[in-house]
A and B are shown apart, each in its own frame.
Chain A
Amino acid sequence: MNRFFLSINVRELVRPLGQLTLFSLGSAAALSIIVLIMALVLDQTIIGETLTEKLNVSLYTYTLINLPQVVLDGLTIGFVYAAIALGYTMVYGVLEFINFAHSEIFAVGAFVGVEILIALDQTGMLRNASLGMAYVFLIFAILAGMAAAGALAVTVERVAYRPLRGAPRLVPLISAIGVSFLLQDVIRLVEGLTTGDFNRIFPTFGNFDQRIIFGKLALGSTNLTLGVSIKSLIVIISAVLMLVGLNYLVNATRIGKAIRAVAQDRPTASLMGINVNRIISITFLVGGLLGGAAGVLYALKFTRIDPFVGFFPGLKAFAAAVLGGIGNLTGALLGGIVLGMLETFAGSYMGVFTMGAAGSEYKDIFAFSILIFVLIFRPQGLMGENVGQKA
């Protein structure tokens, strides 16, 4: 027992926690300052006046009071993006290949988790479950989603990508797009045949929907309750655990060392006696596990899922991975958090700042705009190395 604890590399456990805190606080602070400055400037204009008329509060105060909630929401979605982005970035790091089907791996995880909970709900077990049991069921659903998604990711790699290794770059990418489309309809088909409905709802149980209230803030003539829902906390905590676990796996274990070796130089790693195919399978497995868990967490947070649920989170997570520097694990964390924050900030404030002309309906394309800007000005991402084509 003692020996086991001694073999744990504490540094690799603490380091990602520090990074996560730093990234979260940093992006929250930076974005808060930006919106506050914008609010101060816009306060003098017609935009501020309109708001004062409507809510009897200055734009600056409105922005300030909403900030804590926006930051919390941004963090929640940011961690989900980070967990998905890690799947893209791991595969990219090892194979230099965009696993386009990762968004559907995520969706399958969500569906498996939700279906299990729905089945449990129908037996009545969920409703009568004690609080402790509710958490057990939730953890079980997350694990099942992870297992299904992990197995699927490995299968997809085996069937649709491995035969194409060594082909021109676009060939496996096109195949991956095919897999993505195929899986969307397979989910739809399976759900349609078995349940007759492919819009599934995460069952209500446990105390996940409750909010922990920190306090009330006066917002002009109304009040704003500041709080965080328990499910958001669960999402954040689980994501942090996964991210720390993955970081440990990659940076402090033998398998991680092999993964890094394959990523660095596949032929040489193979000469050193590393079974490259196995390592690639493990990479997909790990990415799939993370994606599956993220899927169930996503379903917990947003309740409703459909077969296309993976598309936007997947693309945004990819954007996050690129933003952070694709192939770089820390970068994926940073990218996910920054993108989640940016998106939530934009969704919350753009409507007010533009007097309703452009609001949260544009938040889905926000990620793409960021993606395009990053690729133009810093294609290697915030933390990545140069990704220019090798000569």
Chain B
Amino acid sequence: MAPLFFKALLEKLNRGFWPYIIILSHTILGTSLVYSTPRSNVAFLVLITSLFSLYYFKTDSRFKIIAGAILALVVIPIVGVRNIFYLEVIFQISVFAALALGLNIVVGFAGLLDLGYVAFYAVGAYLWAFFGSQQYYVLSFAPGTQPSNLPFLLPGDAFYLFIFFAIIVAALTGILLGMPVLRLRGDYLAIVTLGFGEVIRVLANNLDKPLNFTNGPQGITPIQRPSMPQAVADWFNDLFGGIIGHTASIADLYNVMFYLFALLVIIVIIFVTRRLDDSKIGRAWTAVREDETAAIAMGVPLVKMKLAAFAVGASFAGAMGVLLAASRTFISPESFSFMQSIGVLSMVILGGSGSIPGVILGAATVTILNLQILQGFSLYLSELRQSDAIIPIINFAWRDLSTQLDPAKYQRLLFGLILILMMIFRPAGLIPAKRRKRKLASDTATAEK
């Protein structure tokens, strides 16, 4: 009975002016909670879920766009700078959302299971890490032996140029890898992409000799960021300094900047995805996913279409790689492991492959689970360990709990459970993909009858 009741209630609330009231109050509540509490998961969840009430409830599309823009461009930077903890989480969500949306093109639309997606991310990251740091002058030094006063090869503003280079290089890498293997059956492709991901990681780990390209397991640092004019900082502080409560430092502003860049990439991916989806290319992708034999018999060139999906997906990962390298100013092979690829995959699967809102929800959920819930649980356990508390009934002292039990490190368990449970119980994901309804003359004709 209860679910039915809620369904009826939600339908009632989804009419007239109710949606506006709900969205506004949800957003305002979230904002004020986050604004007033420095490190609260609950407050953060209230704010972030307001995006989903904005998505779910039916309102005027202009209202949606304006509300969304205010939330993303004004509210989040303000509360983020006031409290850098929130901005970090939101930045992570944005990065993973962008990656997941990119992978979604490959997995969700074209139906190609790519298990080495972060390899393209690594290609982008290492591209900028090499050219945007001193690494060029370190080529002939073994890791750790270079002199400290080396110059930078390129100015930090070359970052913008390298976003485009990374898109091209990652797309080419995708095509080069895809060309031989895309004619294979899907499950073989999965294993080959996995292998490719490992190859890239092993190369990143070992290409510190004979010439030191990647600096091996220690990774490359410092990597430059684009310049931040003082005028922008002053402008930001003049405008928002009052509400934030303190003057934003350059470091704070960089965090905002990279968050906005990630947001921009997300918007571009959504734009590209939606426009492609509703065209010859997108229809061909879906057709290939649904039935390869029928698609090719209808004149859809399989390999070409798959390559296109692979290249588009890869290019976005490449761009995000440059962004990551610049925002972190440090990268190492560790960030590009197989587990990361599976993490991104589990976001796509959880949210609903092929569904843009689904994938964003998946990225947000997995990132929050991963960063907030698991880590929060870890903190809680370590507090318990330091206390004298005892588990009742079995009389087990928390103090004796093994320090190996650190939930924050159990991401594999999380990803694994998500993948298995979703496949068994809800393979289409939390928000399944929908095909666009077309306005057709014959439909209206039947309706008129």
Contact = CB atoms under 8 A, between A and B. Distances in A.
Contacts of A169: 185-187
Interface string B324-368: 000000000000001100100110010000000000000000000
A79 to B, nearest CB: 22
A368 B195 contact: yes
Majority SS at the chain A contact face: helix
Given A169-B186, A375-B184, A391-B293, A182 B191 contact: no
Interface stretch (B83-91, B143-151, B157-165, B407-415): B407-415
A189 B410 contact: yes
A185 B404 contact: no
B243 to A, nearest CB: 43
Interface residues of A, number: 55
A181 B423 contact: no
B384 to A, nearest CB: 15
A357 interface: yes
A175 B423 contact: yes
A193 B412 contact: no
A185 B420 contact: no
Given A174-B113, A181-B416, A387-B185, A365 B410 contact: no
B183 to A, nearest CB: 8
Interface stretch (A119-127, A135-143, A160-168, A275-283): A160-168
Contact of A185 (B186, B349, B416): B416
A173 interface: yes
A171 interface: yes
Contact of B402 (A175, A182, A193, A387): A193
Given A357-B209, A371-B191, A372-B180, A188 B410 contact: yes
Nearest to A179: B420
Given A171-B427, A179-B420, A375 B181 contact: yes
Contact of A364 (B111, B198, B293, B420): B198
Interface residues of B, number: 49
Nearest to B194: A315
Contacts of A358: 206
A192 B413 CA distance: 14
Nearest to A175: B423
Contact of A389 (B194, B203, B293, B342): B293
Contacts of B185: 169, 387-389
B412 A167 contact: no
A36 B388 CA distance: 68
B195 A315 contact: yes
A182 B210 contact: no
A196 interface: yes
B404 A379 contact: no
B292 interface: yes
A371 B206 CA distance: 21
Nearest to B183: A379
Contacts of B48: none
B419 interface: yes
B28 interface: no
Contact of A369 (B199, B405, B416): B199
B418 interface: yes
B413 A182 contact: yes
Contacts of B420: 160, 175, 178-179, 182
A265 interface: no
A334 interface: no
A371 to B, nearest CB: 6
Contacts of A191: 404
Given A175-B423, A193-B402, A389 B413 contact: no
Contacts of B63: none
B217 to A, nearest CB: 11
B181 A186 contact: no
A335 to B, nearest CB: 14
Given A173-B190, A365-B202, A376-B181, A192 B419 contact: no
A345 B180 CA distance: 26
Given A167-B427, A371-B192, A375-B192, A178 B415 contact: yes
A106 B363 CA distance: 32
Nearest to A373: B180
A361 interface: yes
Contacts of A349: none
A147 B383 CA distance: 40
A55 to B, nearest CB: 21
Given A181-B415, A198-B404, A379-B184, A362 B113 contact: no
A186 B404 CA distance: 12
B239 interface: no
A368 B192 CA distance: 7
A150 interface: no
A352 to B, nearest CB: 14
A305 interface: no
A362 B199 CA distance: 9
A296 interface: no
Interface of B: 111, 113, 115, 180-181, 184-188, 190-192, 194-196, 198-199, 202-203, 205-206, 209-210, 292-293, 338-339, 342, 345-346, 349, 402-405, 410, 412-413, 415-421, 423-424, 427
Given A174-B345, A315-B198, 9 more contacts: A172-B423, A173-B113, A177-B419, A182-B420, A184-B416, A191-B404, A357-B209, A368-B192, A375-B180
30 contacts: A160-B423, A160-B424, A169-B185, A169-B187, A172-B423, A173-B186, A174-B113, A174-B349, A175-B420, A178-B415, A178-B416, A178-B421, A181-B342, A181-B413, A181-B419, A182-B413, A182-B417, A192-B405, A198-B404, A356-B209, A361-B202, A361-B205, A362-B202, A365-B199, A367-B195, A372-B196, A375-B184, A379-B188, A387-B185, A388-B185
